[in-house]
Chain A
């Protein structure tokens, strides 16, 4: 049996559509007055990004993106938005005093990106590098958990320690009286 790498269907259409959803969602995140609207725009950005992950042959990361980001972290954000009052902050000034210098700094960073990507274009010769699909989730699990070939086992344990610290820190910070 000779496996054949299937070329994806209608790649440009989906790529530009998902990229447009991502950019529009990002613009809405940083311009909306209401924080709930920003959170909803961020959720649409994250879901479109999960679609881009699927186009990059990363189904496991796409699933993690949907479940953990759009399902977990954004629910946390919405909870906090509902805990703090938004009515007063919607009537106030939305941008701080250094907005002009901030935009100038971001524009300079954008100029840096443009110069790097135009000069380094030859480093990424073509997008036609196809390969035979194999177990994506199995490969990630092999890198993370396999004691012989996996090189990220220690980092995985450190990540669990980081999450423990974050849980304890969040409880200590948010609780009124310990």
Chain B
């Protein structure tokens, strides 16, 4: 039984990433609080990052240790996440100042 468990392949990491991605999607689609929606988006980005680093590991096994493109891309995704969080939370503060609420289904200023 330990032999079956001893081999952690790339697919194991991909399954964890997929589960995290699904949790993030459920959070984005069902929660009302905008802060938790933004946190769910962070969950999605982290699932993508885990996939990228796992594929980078696989690629390194094939092409040598200097094939680090997946990890570089993960760093770019982290940069994007920082920018997204700053702008999103800025929008959230501006919205809260105007409407005194943080619920997504009350964000209807642009609806006709």
Give the B-binding residues of A (Cβ under 8 A). 11-12, 15, 19, 22-23, 26-27, 29-30, 35, 38-39, 42, 45-46, 49, 52-53, 55-58, 60-61, 64-65, 68-69, 72-73, 76-77, 80-81, 83-84, 89, 92-99, 101-103, 105-106, 109-110, 113, 117, 121, 124, 126-134, 136, 139-140, 142-144, 152, 155, 159, 162-163, 165-167, 169-174, 176
Contact = CB atoms under 8 A, between A and B. Distances in A.
Binding site secondary structure of chain A = helix
B72 to A, nearest CB: 5
Binding site secondary structure of chain B = helix
Interface string B1-22: 0100111111111111011111
A29 B83 contact: no
Interface residues of B, number: 79
A170 B89 contact: yes
A127 B7 contact: yes
Contact of B56 (A56, A77, A152, A176): A56
Residue from B2, B14, B23 with most neighbouring chain A CB atoms (10 Å)? B23
Contacts, number: 247
Interface in B1-48: 2, 5-16, 18-27, 29-33, 35-36, 38-40, 42-43, 46
Q: Which 9 A-B pairs have the closest CB atoms?
A: A129-B61, A102-B29, A127-B9, A166-B83, A173-B90, A30-B27, A170-B90, A26-B23, A99-B30
